[in-house]
Amino acid sequence: HIVSVCLSIGTLGDDVSAINAVINEVIENHIVVVIAAGNNGIEGSEPFNKLGRNKNAIVVGAINDKDQITSYSSMGVDGDGNNLKPDLVAPGGSAIPGGRSIISADSKSDDATAAYGTSISTAIVSAAINLLIDAKWGTWTEWNNQDLSKLAKTLKAILLMTATETNLEREDDPKTDIDESNYSPSLYSGLSNSLKDEHEGYGRMNIQAAIDALTKNIEINQSINNNLTSSEINPLGNHAYARKISLQENIQYLFNLTDVDENADFDIFLFSNESNQFGEP
């Protein structure tokens, strides 16, 4: 079963119509396509991978082990006023001196290697698609019994809606003349700006929250006790809490967030169980 495709290739050229047509055809066949944002950081007028402008694919930038956007993760674009990329970020390792790389299996048998790049982040997100399918449907027989025409976009939407802002400055590379931290993600502040920005998209991937959003429910009039932390305090901690809830049309509901630090930044979002045509929540 092929459920996701990881594209670690890229181009700075302008004509990507042919490969975009192939990408869209793959997605129409119920396969999630995940594309690397590129490793050009903030260099040049358009550092972003041109393939990453595809509206239907998941486009991924990189964070380091502190949850900062890496110095090399390509700053994104808003191609047509309604197509802000990347979509989210995932671990990709650091390129700065003393930074941590990603350790993984090498192409050689029984060997390991260390590397960094948005290609690694993309592979991690592609693998997360398989984790979501296993958590929700368990077997390929059960998966094949589903209406696959919508599930590729559903899986994309689940990952995006459970991502969280890093609220951290971009990692600065001391080897460059530019201070990369001046090109950092914005913080969502309500209706005045978008949930996405050109550095981290919706934010860092939270695979456990994505699994919970697919597999767990909460009921009306139910109290929930949970502990969340910021990327700044603990990059490995829980940053999102996600559940399904059924609400009736034309009825008002009140959601209370209590017993929290008054200086903390919390957001509560209600997303539809239907994504838009591109898999955006």
pLDDT of residue 147: 87
Q: Which residue has the higher pLDDT, 267 or 36?
A: 36
Work out the average pLDDT over 45-69. Answer: 92
Quick: pLDDT tens for 133-152: 999 999 999 998 998 888 99
pLDDT of residue 160: 98
pLDDT band at residue 109 using 50, 70 and 90 as cut-offs: confident
71 vs 85: CA distance, rounded Å: 17
Work out the average pLDDT over 22-50. Answer: 91
Quick: pLDDT tens for 183-202: 999 988 776 667 899 999 99
pLDDT of residue 64: 98
Tokens found for residue 236? 């490995």
All domains in the chain, ordered by first residue: 4-215 (3.40.50.200)
pLDDT at 12 over 70: no
Share above pLDDT 70 across residues of the chain, in percent, rounded to a whole number: 96
132 vs 135: CA distance, rounded Å: 5
Q: Which of 205, 162, 166 is nearest to 67 (CA)?
A: 166
pLDDT at 8 over 70: yes
Lowest-pLDDT choice from 54-68, 77-91, 146-160, 166-180: 77-91
pLDDT band at residue 43 using 50, 70 and 90 as cut-offs: confident
pTM of the model: 0.93
Report whether 129 contacts 14 (CB < 8 A).
no
pLDDT of residue 81: 59
Mean pLDDT of the chain: 91
